[in-house]
């Protein structure tokens, strides 16, 4: 009696060593004697045993109480073991059940047929108790691994679903951020007497670090700027939003380029002073590592006298009415890079029909189909061609952008934000 209990306890311990050991076993056999013999073997080893005398009865049991392991006779009237195995695999949901065919067949072709039907293992009849326990233990390891894999897949699916939800939330936030950033440039074109300013802003992602804008303290004075914040994405976009407030056209009292007079009028500050003040504000922000390049022009639209700073920004292009091209400026430190900096101010004069283009390096550093970058000379050529084909105002900028992307290596994905500000001086006919 003690020996029997010891054997049973050892069998249970062997099974319990498996983290997800087989506990529920279904035996399917049309022979009542065979059912009784195998059931007794398994019951003594501590298994929960279910019995079925046919494949149809077994399927009903599986639908109600899915077994961990199935021992099925191959040769049965009606639905044989192969067909039952196929049907068993079809009704399985998330839980994997190990399937052992009981057979007297040993031909390799029969074994292949059984494996093809979905069987995991085979036992020859009559069943040996030690071999049965060994096969079940092997099946328990497979079931354990299958369940661990299934659990990991479930966890991965849940994590992926959660990531999808987070991604959708971020994507919605970015779409809203794009709308907000687009609102920073509410006007894409405005006329100032006989002159006109047009703006182009094409972020390479949802949001970007480029900003173009204009403001006017009076009928004959105007400020025009092009800004490119270092980096890309949300952080850069936040810096552009802050700078937009410093250069606001809607709230002149917040615009650091304007100086308020006692009579409620505003005067333009010198561009060099404006750059210095903007640098002081950005450099003083703790934890902000981003800096920006800027081209800023203070324009006298009556006389055509222009004053400009080029703070690390690409040189503005002045396209004369006769087609001559001039690149303005000689560089300068970016804004927000160091604490104290002075900017050199460049003066030039525009004549009737001249055009001034401020732009970001998204234009000049675009990679063309031949592998080279567009650079300043290439942009000047695009500028000239768009003017020669009759382009004016925002249509001219759109034509330039179209010409750029038509010759780019990968036009579907901009490598950088592309922006531009165009001043057409004394070129607009008055009604």
What span, in angstroms and rounded, lies between the C-alpha atoms of 248 and 241?
Answer: 10
Beta-carbon contacts of residue 31 (< 8 Å; ≥ 6 apart) = 73
Q: Answer whether residue 171 shows pLDDT above 50.
A: yes
Q: Answer whether residue 109 shows pLDDT above 90.
A: no
Which pLDDT band, with edges at 50, 70 and 90, does 21 fall under?
low
Break the chain into its structural domains and give their ranges: 2-153, 184-424
**Predicted structure pTM score:** 0.66
Q: Which of 48-52, 313-317, 335-339, 357-361 shows the lowest mean pLDDT across its residues?
A: 335-339
pLDDT of residue 113: 86
Q: Which of 92-96, 126-130, 334-338 shows the lowest mean pLDDT across its residues?
A: 92-96
What span, in angstroms and rounded, lies between the C-alpha atoms of 263 and 36?
Answer: 109
What span, in angstroms and rounded, lies between the C-alpha atoms of 365 and 418?
Answer: 10
pLDDT, mean of residues 348-367: 95
pLDDT of residue 86: 92
Q: What is the DSSP letter of 253?
A: G
pLDDT of residue 429: 67
pLDDT of residue 409: 82
Which CATH architecture is the domain 184-424 placed in? 4-Layer Sandwich (3.60)
Which has the closest alpha carbon to 204: 378, 316, 367, 357? 367
What span, in angstroms and rounded, lies between the C-alpha atoms of 100 and 78?
Answer: 19
Other C-beta atoms within 10 Å of 163: how many?
10
What span, in angstroms and rounded, lies between the C-alpha atoms of 10 and 8?
Answer: 5
Which pLDDT band, with edges at 50, 70 and 90, does 20 fall under?
very low
Q: Answer whether residue 53 shows pLDDT above 60.
A: yes
Q: Answer whether residue 284 shows pLDDT above 80.
A: no
Give the mean pLDDT of the chain. Answer: 86
Which pLDDT band, with edges at 50, 70 and 90, does 3 fall under?
very low
pLDDT in tens, 207-265: 778 899 999 988 789 999 999 998 777 778 888 888 888 998 888 889 999 998 877 78
pLDDT of residue 2: 46
Q: What is the DSSP letter of 5?
A: H
CB 265 within 8 A of CB 218: yes
pLDDT in tens, 178-223: 677 677 777 889 999 899 999 999 888 777 788 999 999 887 899 9
Q: Which of 10-24, 70-84, 168-182, 238-252 shows the lowest mean pLDDT across its residues?
A: 10-24
Which has the closest alpha carbon to 203: 194, 195, 190, 212? 212
pLDDT of residue 430: 55
Q: Which of 127-136, 272-281, 376-385 shows the lowest mean pLDDT across its residues?
A: 127-136
What span, in angstroms and rounded, lies between the C-alpha atoms of 398 and 389?
Answer: 13
pLDDT of residue 150: 82
Beta-carbon contacts of residue 91 (< 8 Å; ≥ 6 apart) = 59, 62, 63
The residue among 106 and 346 whose pLDDT is bigger is: 346
Q: Is the peptide bond before 126 cis (omega within 30 degrees of 0)?
A: yes
Domain 2-153 has CATH 3.30.470.20: no
Q: What is the DSSP letter of 103?
A: E
pLDDT of residue 287: 65
Q: Which of 45-54, 198-207, 312-321 shows the lowest mean pLDDT across its residues?
A: 198-207
Across-strand partners of 355? 319, 424
pLDDT of residue 15: 40
pLDDT of residue 148: 85
């Amino acid at each position: 009696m003690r020996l029997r209990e010891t054997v049973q306890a050892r069998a249970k311990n062997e099974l319990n060593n498996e983290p997800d050991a087989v506990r529920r076993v279904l035996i399917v056999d049309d022979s009542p004697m065979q059912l009784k013999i195998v059931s007794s073997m398994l019951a003594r080893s501590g298994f929960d045993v279910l019995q079925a005398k046919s494949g149809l009865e077994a399927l009903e049991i599986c639908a109600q109480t899915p077994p961990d392991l199935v021992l099925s006779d191959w040769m049965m009237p009606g639905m044989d073991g192969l067909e039952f195995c196929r049907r068993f695999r079809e009704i399985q949901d998330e839980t994997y059940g190990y399937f052992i065919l009981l057979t007297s067949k040993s031909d390799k072709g029969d074994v292949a047929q059984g494996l093809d039907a979905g069987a995991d293992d085979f036992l020859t009849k009559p069943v040996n108790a030690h071999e049965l326990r060994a096969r079940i233990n092997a099946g328990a390891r497979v079931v354990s691994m299958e369940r661990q894999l299934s659990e990991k897949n479930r966890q991965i699916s849940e994590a992926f679903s959660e990531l999808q939800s987070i991604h959708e939330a971020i994507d919605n936030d970015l779409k809203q951020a794009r709308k907000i950033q687009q609102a920073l440039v509410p006007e894409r074109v405005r006329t100032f007497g006989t002159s006109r300013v047009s703006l182009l802003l094409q972020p390479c992602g949802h949001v970007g670090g480029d900003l173009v804008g204009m403001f006017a303290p009076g009928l004959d004075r105007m400020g025009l700027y092009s800004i490119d914040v270092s980096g890309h994405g949300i952080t850069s976009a936040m810096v552009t939003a802050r700078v937009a407030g410093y250069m606001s056209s809607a709230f002149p009292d917040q615009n650091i380029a304007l100086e308020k007079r006692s009579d409620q009028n505003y005067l333009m500050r010198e561009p060099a002073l404006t750059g210095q003040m903007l640098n002081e504000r950005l450099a003083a922000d703790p934890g902000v590592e981003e800096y920006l390049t800027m081209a800023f022009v203070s324009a006298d639209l009556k006389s055509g006298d222009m004053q400009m700073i080029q703070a690390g920004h690409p040189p503005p292009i002045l396209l004369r009415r006769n087609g001559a091209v001039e690149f303005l400026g000689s560089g300068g430190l970016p804004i927000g890079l160091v604490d104290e900096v002075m900017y050199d101010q460049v003066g030039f004069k525009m004549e009737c029909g001249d055009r001034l283009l401020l732009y970001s390096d998204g234009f000049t550093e675009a990679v063309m189909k031949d592998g080279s970058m567009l650079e300043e000379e290439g942009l000047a050529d695009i500028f000239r061609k768009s003017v020669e084909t009759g382009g004016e105002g925002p249509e001219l900028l759109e034509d330039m952008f179209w010409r750029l992307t038509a010759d780019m290596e990968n036009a579907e994905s901009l490598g950088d934000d592309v922006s531009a500000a165009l001043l057409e001086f004394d070129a607009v006919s008055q009604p």
